[in-house]
Amino acid sequence: MKRPALLLTAVLALAAIVWAENPLLINGAGATFPYPIYSKWFDVYHQKNGNIQFNYQSVGSGAGIKQVTEGTVDFGATDGPMNDDQLKAFQDKRGSAILHFPTVLGAVVPTYNVPGVTGALNFTPEALAGVFLGKITKWNDPAIAGANKGVNLPAEDIVVVHRSDGSGTTYVWTDYLSKVSEEWNSKVKKSTSVNWPVGLGGKGNEGVTGLIKQTPGSIGYVELIYAVQNSVPYGSVKNSSGNFIKADLASVSAAAAGTAKDMPDDFRVSITNASGKTAYPISSFTWLLIPTKFQDAGKRDAIKGFLKWMLTDGQGYAEPLTYAKLPKEVVERELKAISKVQ
């Protein structure tokens, strides 16, 4: 008789703990790229506010938009802003609007494997577009060689490597190519996955990096964070001011600062090919998607509180995780926008 009684007490005690600790659970889903910083933020915020718990699933930007539209999660997250059709779909389905809140910045860098070349290469926008359109097929093509004086480029075929899975990385890369090349903009356009004119596909950053390591003469693109953390060599890209810039946290933040002035009120802005002398041209925001209306006032206040913390103290956690911080101007405008959530 002793044992069941003990068991019962234990169960009751456990139930009491669960009951007492039962925090407000807020669900989100979306982009994989910012997952490391988001999980850090949500963890730290939960430690500071024990009654609020965030649950974030990194299922991809597309799935994040879909789930927040259908109302299966409280907020979404995406690497590419929602388009007008998606905003309208949200309005139709939920009867309210959805807001974009930039959280941190990322960048996409060109990486390559050219036999005999060890240093960093310089790429002009024309060279990148030409290579990915399949028009430039040799490494010693004048379009590439012209920007790399003194580097002995071989007469080898170029093998293009791109992402095979739908990805925010691809969105940023094709968004950039659409801006710098008329032909790309009319033929291929920008999206999380496109109909590539040439090349091989690798799954994920690691798949692209693997293919490039294995294939002499190849060129591809990966996220800056992935390249830094895995010591993947990458090249510099010529920005709109004519300077060759190697991506790092400072040059990515500079790209955001360059566009802060003419940023639209809904924060849906592409910062590829941004102005600014030191701006890295293939940079992008990543966004949280927050509905303007919440049924549950508790959830609304919790999310507003989190947004405020994320934009101020939270930004300090970005750089150790190799994400670029938001520029001050953007933070100020976002803090004002929080009041739109009701």
CB neighbours (10 Å) of residue 321? 15
Q: Least separation, in Å, of the C-beta of 325 and another protein? A: 27
Q: Least separation, in Å, of the C-beta of 203 and another protein? A: 5
Closer residue to another protein (CB): 232 or 247:
232
Q: Least separation, in Å, of the C-beta of 338 and another protein? A: 27
**Three-class secondary structure assignment of the chain:** CHHHHHHHHHHHHHHHHHHHHCCEEEEEEECCCCHHHHHHHHHHHHHHCCCEEEEEECCCHHHHHHHHHHCCCCEEEECCCCCHHHHHHHHHHHCCCEEEEEEEEEEEEEEEECCCCCCCCEECHHHHHHHHHCCCCECCCHHHHCCCCCCCCCCCECEEEEECCCCHHHHHHHHHHHHHCHHHHHHCCCCCCCCCCCCEEECHHHHHHHHHHHCCCEEEEEEHHHHHHCCCCECEEECCCCCEECCCHHHHHHHHHHHHCCCCCCCCCCCCCCCCCCCCCCEEEEEEEEECCCCCHHHHHHHHHHHHHHHCHHHHHCHHHCCECCCHHHHHHHHHHHHHCC
Closer residue to another protein (CB): 61 or 239:
61
Closer residue to another protein (CB): 36 or 197:
197
Q: Least separation, in Å, of the C-beta of 188 and another protein? A: 7
Q: Least separation, in Å, of the C-beta of 195 and another protein? A: 4
Closer residue to another protein (CB): 65 or 245:
65
Q: Least separation, in Å, of the C-beta of 86 and another protein? A: 7
Residue 179: both structure tokens together: 């801006």
Closer residue to another protein (CB): 170 or 239:
170
Closer residue to another protein (CB): 53 or 58:
58
Q: Least separation, in Å, of the C-beta of 192 and another protein? A: 5
Closer residue to another protein (CB): 190 or 300:
190
CA distance 283 to 176: 9
Q: Least separation, in Å, of the C-beta of 196 and another protein? A: 7
What are the residues binding another protein (CB under 8 A)? 59-63, 65-66, 86, 157, 159, 164-167, 188-196, 199-203, 207, 210-211, 214-215
Contact status, residue 290 vs residue 75, Cβ threshold 8 Å: yes
Closer residue to another protein (CB): 164 or 283:
164
